C-alpha cells in the first residue's frame, strides 16, 4: 500500500513537471495577455509606462461606450471595417466551402488514377507563407498584371484592382438605376440615416473591387486545406453504402444528394465553423496587400485594432475593438451552429459531444498528406 | 477534428480502390473519366499557373515583367533579382527565420510530447482540469491576442529580442493534442516492461515511448516548422528593429514599398520564391517519410 502511494506521488510529481512548460508558455503568452488586454480596454492607459502601474485607473465601459456610441472617426472607421469584413465573410465562407467540397468530390472518384498529384497541387498553397502568396497576387492583379492581360484577350478592360474603392453592390445598384453609380451620391433616403456613424447607403456598398482581390486570394489558398477535411470525411463513408445504393439503382447525382452530403454533415459543420472563425480574423493579407486602402474599403477590425493601438497609441479603443471582434466571432459561430444543428437534431448528441472533446485544428497549419499512423 | 484523427482517417484513403459496382457500359465510363480528368486539370492549372508565373517572372527584367505579365518565359533570362535580394538584408532575414523556426520546432517537439504523454498516460490530480484548460486556449481567436501579446512581451522586457520572438511560440495546444492522441493509441505494454525494470518516468518516456512516437513527432515537426516559418503577425508585435526582421516581416516590408521603389516585380517574386523553397522541400520530402514511417509501423505490428 505504502509503495503504491509513493509511486502515485511520484507520478503526480512527474505529471505536473511534464505539463508545466506548456502551462507556463500558454499561461504567460495566452491567458495573461488576455487579462492585461481586458484591463487596458477598461482603463485609461495611454501607452506610456506599464498598464499595471498605479497611475492607470479603471474607467469601466468608457472605451466601449466611446467606440460604439460617440460620433467620431474611430467609430466610423470601426463601422467601415465591420462592413468590409462582413461582405468578405459572406463571399469567402460559402465559396471556399463549395470549392473545397467540389475538389474533394473530384479527388474521391474511385475510377481515376494519379489523384495524389492533383491533391498535392490543390493543397500546396495552404502550406506556403501568406507573404509569398500575397506577393504573387500583387503581381497577378496589378493594373498591368496577368489577370488584366487575360481579360484583355477577351476584350475586357480590367479595373485597377488595388486602387479601386468602388463597392460592387453600389456598381450593381447603379446599373438598375438606384443611386448614381459607385462614384455619385446615393439616394437621400439611404444617405440621411446612419448606423454607427456610417450611412445606410455606405453599409450597402458591398465589397470594394480591391477587396475582391483579397477575397479571391483567400478562397484560392484556403480551399485546399478544407478539401483535405472533406476528403477525410468522404473516406469515412463506407463503400458498403455506395454498393447498396448502386444495387438499388441510384444515379450518381442521387447518391451524392441522399447519401454523401448527409453523411458529410459533421465535416461541413467543422469547415463552416473554422471558415467563420478564420474569416472574421483576416489580418495578414490586409497588412501585406492594402493596409486598409483604397478609401478604407479593405480595412478589417483585426487590422484596425492593430493599427489603432500600435501605430496610433489609442490602446483603450484598440483593445476594445479586439474584444468586440471576439464577441462577434462567438455570436456568429453560435448562430451558425444553431442553424446547422436544428435541422438535424439526431446528430446533436453524438457529434456535439465528440466536438467538445476533440479539439479542432485549423487547416491552415500543414496537414500531412499521407497516412501517418 | 484533430490532426491525428484526420491522418488516421486518411489511411483508409485509396483512390485506386476498385469501383464499387461494375460499370454499366464502357463508353459512359470513359466519358465520365474524361470529364473527371478535365475538371481536375482545369483546377490544377488554376492552382499551378500562378506559381509558374511567379518563378518565371523572378528571372525577368523589370520591363519584361510588366510588358508580358501572362508569359512565364523570360525574354532575357537574368538572375539580377536574386542578386539584388542578397545585396539587401535578405540573407539576414533568412537566417533569422531559420534560427527562430528551428528553435520553435525543437521546443514544440519536446514540450508538446512531454505534456501530451503526461495527459495521455500519467495519472495525476488535476489532469482533467489541465486538459480542459489547454482545449480552452485553442478556442481563443489568435488575432485577439495580437495587441495583448505585444503588451506582455514589453512588460517582460523581451521586446525586440530573440526570446520574445521564440518563447511565445515554443509550445502549442494543438501539438499537445496530436501527441496525446497518439500516445493513447500506443499499447501500454512497452512502458510497463520498462517500469518493471525500474526505469523512472522520464527515462521511460525518453528511451521507450518517444522512439515509438516517430510518426507523430514527424507530424508536429512539419506543422511547427511550417507555421513558425510562415508566421507574420507575431513578429509584427514582438520586434521592431531591422536586425530582427524575419523573412515574413522583411518581405512584407519589401512588398509595401518600404524598401523597394517602383514596381520591381521580379525582385518581389524572387523573394517569394526563395521563402517558399524550404517549406516546399520539407513538404515533398516528408510526404515520403510519413508514408514509409507508417509502413514500418504496420510491419512491426
| Cα distance between residue A183 and residue A197, in whole Å | 20
Specify if A226 maps to a domain.
yes
B87: number of Cβ within 10 Å: 8
Specify if A318 maps to a domain.
yes
The residue ranges of chain A whose pLDDT is under 50 are: 1-2, 345-373
Asked whether the beta carbons of residue B21 and residue A243 sit closer than 8 angstroms, the reply is yes
| pLDDT at residue A352, as a whole number | 39
For residue B112, the chain A residues in CB contact (below 8 A) are: 22
Q: What is the helix, strand, coil percentage profile of chain A, to 5? A: 70, 5, 30
For residue B291, the chain A residues in CB contact (below 8 A) are: 370-371
What's the predicted TM-score (pTM) here?
Answer: 0.85
A3 contacts chain B (CB < 8 A): no
Stretch B33-61: mean pLDDT, rounded? 93
Residue to mutate among A20, A22, A153, with most B CBs inside 10 A, is A22
Residue matched to cell numbers 460620433: A71
Specify if A25 maps to a domain.
no
| Whether residue B41 has pLDDT greater than 90 | yes
Question: Greater confidence, B226 or A359?
Answer: B226
For residue B20, the chain A residues in CB contact (below 8 A) are: 110, 239, 242-243, 246
Question: A60: alpha, beta or left, given left = phi > 0 and alpha = psi -120 to 50?
Answer: left
Task: Tell me which residue of B97, B6, B47, B16 sits closest to B290, measured CA to CA.
Answer: B6
Residue matched to cell numbers 439616394: A187
| Cα distance between residue B122 and residue A189, in whole Å | 67
A163 contacts chain B (CB < 8 A): no
A328 contacts chain B (CB < 8 A): no
Closest by Cβ to A242, choosing from B20, B32, B149: B20
- CA terminus-to-terminus distance, chain A: 38
Q: Which domains does chain B have, with CATH numbers?
A: 22-78 (no CATH), 89-248+285-300 (1.10.3720.10)
B95-119: b (≥16 Cβ within 10 Å) or e: ebbeebbebbbebbbebbbbbbbbb
Domain that residue A262 falls in: 67-167+206-357
Mean pLDDT highest for which of A260-264, B105-109, B256-260?
B105-109
CA distances for A108 relative to A23, A217, A236, A269, A272, angstroms: 41, 25, 12, 20, 21
Q: What's the number of domains chain A is made of?
A: 1
Instruction: Please calculate the CA angle A293-A77-A332 and round it to the nearest 5 degrees.
Output: 100
Q: pLDDT-based confidence at B249, cuts 50/70/90?
A: very high
| pLDDT at residue A188, as a whole number | 72
Residues 122-161 of B with CB under 8 A from A: 122-127, 130, 133-135, 137-138, 140-152, 155-156
| pLDDT at residue B29, as a whole number | 81
B100 contacts chain A (CB < 8 A): no
Q: What is the pLDDT of residues B115-153, one digit of tens each?
A: 999 999 888 888 999 999 988 888 788 878 888 899 899
For residue A290, the chain B residues in CB contact (below 8 A) are: none
Task: Tell me which residue of A14, A20, A67 sits closest to A42, measured CA to CA.
Answer: A67
Asked whether the beta carbons of residue B232 and residue A239 sit closer than 8 angstroms, the reply is no
Closest by Cβ to A288, choosing from B9, B133, B255: B255
| Cα distance between residue B185 and residue B214, in whole Å | 13
Asked whether the beta carbons of residue B118 and residue A19 sit closer than 8 angstroms, the reply is yes
| pLDDT at residue B32, as a whole number | 84
Stretch B255-274: mean pLDDT, rounded? 78
| pLDDT at residue B93, as a whole number | 95
Q: What is the pLDDT of residues B159-215, one digit of tens each?
A: 999 999 999 999 999 889 889 988 988 888 878 888 788 878 888 888 888 998 888
CATH code of residue A143: 1.10.3720.10
| Cα distance between residue A162 and residue A129, in whole Å | 21
| pLDDT at residue A97, as a whole number | 96
Closest by Cβ to B294, choosing from A107, A228, A373: A373
Specify if A26 maps to a domain.
no
Specify if A342 maps to a domain.
yes
| Cα distance between residue A229 and residue A235, in whole Å | 10
Q: What is the pLDDT of residues B281-293, one digit of tens each?
A: 888 887 655 434 3
Specify if A271 maps to a domain.
yes
Bridge partners of A58, per DSSP, are A43
CA distances for A305 relative to A37, A74, A131, A213, angstroms: 12, 10, 20, 22
Phi, psi of A282 (to 5 degrees): -55, 125
| pLDDT at residue A349, as a whole number | 41
Question: Do residues A126 and A363 lie in contact, with contact meaning Cβ atoms separated by under 8 Å?
Answer: yes
| pLDDT at residue B266, as a whole number | 92
| pLDDT at residue A345, as a whole number | 46
A297 contacts chain B (CB < 8 A): no
Q: What is the pLDDT of residues B4-25, one digit of tens each?
A: 444 444 444 444 444 455 555 7
| Residue A186, C-alpha cell as written in the block | 446615393
Specify if A366 maps to a domain.
no
Specify if A143 maps to a domain.
yes
A339 contacts chain B (CB < 8 A): no
Question: Do residues B219 and B290 lie in contact, with contact meaning Cβ atoms separated by under 8 Å?
Answer: yes
Residue matched to cell numbers 502551462: A23
Asked whether the beta carbons of residue B201 and residue A14 sit closer than 8 angstroms, the reply is yes
Amino acid at each position: 500500500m505504502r509503495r503504491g502511494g509513493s509511486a502515485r506521488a511520484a507520478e503526480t510529481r512527474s505529471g505536473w513537471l511534464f505539463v508545466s512548460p506548456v502551462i507556463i508558455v500558454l499561461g504567460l503568452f495566452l491567458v495573461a495577455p488576455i487579462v492585461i488586454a481586458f484591463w487596458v480596454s477598461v482603463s485609461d492607459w495611454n501607452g506610456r509606462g506599464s498598464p499595471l502601474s498605479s497611475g492607470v485607473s479603471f474607467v469601466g465601459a468608457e472605451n466601449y461606450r466611446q467606440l460604439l456610441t460617440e460620433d467620431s472617426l474611430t467609430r466610423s472607421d470601426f463601422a467601415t471595417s465591420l462592413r468590409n469584413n462582413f461582405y468578405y465573410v459572406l463571399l469567402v465562407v460559402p465559396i471556399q466551402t463549395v470549392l473545397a467540397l467540389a475538389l474533394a468530390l473530384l479527388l474521391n472518384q474511385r475510377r481515376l488514377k494519379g489523384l495524389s498529384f492533383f491533391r498535392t497541387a490543390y493543397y500546396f498553397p495552404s502550406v506556403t507563407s501568406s507573404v509569398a502568396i500575397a506577393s504573387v497576387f500583387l503581381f497577378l492583379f496589378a493594373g498591368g498584371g496577368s489577370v488584366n492581360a487575360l481579360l484583355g484577350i477577351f476584350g475586357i478592360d480590367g479595373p485597377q484592382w488595388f486602387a479601386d474603392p468602388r463597392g460592387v453592390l453600389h456598381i450593381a445598384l447603379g446599373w438598375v438605376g438606384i443611386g448614381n453609380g459607385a462614384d455619385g451620391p446615393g439616394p437621400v433616403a439611404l444617405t440621411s440615416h446612419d448606423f454607427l456613424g456610417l450611412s445606410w447607403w455606405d453599409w450597402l456598398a458591398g465589397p470594394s473591387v480591391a477587396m475582391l482581390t483579397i477575397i479571391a486570394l483567400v478562397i484560392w489558398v484556403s480551399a485546399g486545406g478544407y478539401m483535405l477535411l472533406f476528403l477525410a470525411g468522404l473516406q469515412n463513408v463506407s463503400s458498403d453504402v455506395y454498393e447498396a445504393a448502386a444495387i438499388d439503382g441510384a444515379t450518381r447525382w442521387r447518391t451524392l444528394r441522399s447519401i454523401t452530403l448527409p453523411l458529410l454533415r459533421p465535416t461541413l459543420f467543422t469547415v463552416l465553423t473554422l471558415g467563420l472563425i478564420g474569416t472574421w480574423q483576416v489580418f495578414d493579407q490586409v497588412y501585406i496587400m492594402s493596409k486598409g486602402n483604397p478609401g478604407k474599403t479593405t480595412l478589417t477590425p483585426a487590422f484596425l485594432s492593430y493599427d489603432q493601438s500600435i501605430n496610433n497609441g489609442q490602446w483603450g479603443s484598440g483593445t476594445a475593438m479586439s474584444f468586440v471582434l471576439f464577441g462577434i466571432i462567438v455570436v456568429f459561430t453560435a448562430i451558425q451552429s444553431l442553424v446547422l444543428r436544428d435541422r438535424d437534431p439526431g446528430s446533436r448528441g453524438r457529434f456535439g459531444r465528440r466536438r467538445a472533446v476533440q479539439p479542432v485544428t485549423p487547416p491552415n497549419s500543414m496537414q500531412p498528406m499521407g497516412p501517418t499512423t | 477534428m484533430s490532426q491525428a484523427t484526420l491522418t488516421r482517417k486518411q489511411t483508409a484513403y485509396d483512390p485506386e480502390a476498385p469501383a464499387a459496382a461494375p460499370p454499366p457500359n464502357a463508353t459512359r465510363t470513359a466519358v465520365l473519366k474524361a470529364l473527371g480528368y478535365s475538371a481536375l486539370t482545369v483546377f490544377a492549372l488554376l492552382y499551378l499557373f500562378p506559381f509558374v508565373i511567379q518563378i518565371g517572372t523572378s528571372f525577368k527584367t523589370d520591363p519584361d515583367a510588366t510588358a508580358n505579365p501572362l508569359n512565364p518565359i523570360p525574354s532575357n533570362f537574368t538572375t539580377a533579382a536574386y542578386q539584388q535580394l542578397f545585396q539587401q538584408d535578405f540573407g539576414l532575414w533568412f537566417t533569422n527565420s531559420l534560427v527562430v523556426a528551428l528553435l520553435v520546432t525543437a521546443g514544440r517537439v519536446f514540450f508538446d510530447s512531454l505534456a501530451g504523454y503526461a495527459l495521455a498516460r500519467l495519472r495525476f490530480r488535476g489532469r482533467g482540469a489541465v486538459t480542459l484548460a489547454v482545449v480552452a486556449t485553442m478556442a481563443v481567436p489568435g488575432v485577439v491576442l495580437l495587441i495583448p501579446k505585444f503588451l506582455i512581451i514589453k512588460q517582460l522586457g523581451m521586446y525586440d529580442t530573440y526570446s520574445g520572438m521564440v518563447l511565445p511560440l515554443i509550445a502549442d495546444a494543438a501539438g499537445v493534442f496530436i501527441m496525446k492522441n497518439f500516445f493513447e493509441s500506443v499499447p501500454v505494454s512497452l512502458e510497463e516492461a520498462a517500469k518493471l525494470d525500474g526505469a523512472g518516468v522520464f527515462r521511460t518516456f525518453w528511451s521507450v515511448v518517444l522512439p515509438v512516437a516517430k510518426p507523430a513527432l514527424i507530424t508536429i515537426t512539419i506543422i511547427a516548422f511550417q507555421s513558425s516559418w510562415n508566421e507574420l503577425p507575431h513578429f509584427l508585435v514582438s520586434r521592431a528593429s531591422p536586425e530582427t526582421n524575419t523573412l515574413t516581416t522583411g518581405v512584407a516590408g519589401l512588398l509595401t514599398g518600404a524598401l523597394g521603389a517602383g514596381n520591381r516585380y521580379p525582385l518581389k517574386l524572387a523573394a517569394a520564391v526563395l521563402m517558399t523553397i524550404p517549406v516546399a522541400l520539407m513538404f515533398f520530402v516528408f510526404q515520403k517519410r510519413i508514408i514509409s514511417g507508417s509502413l514500418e509501423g504496420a510491419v512491426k505490428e
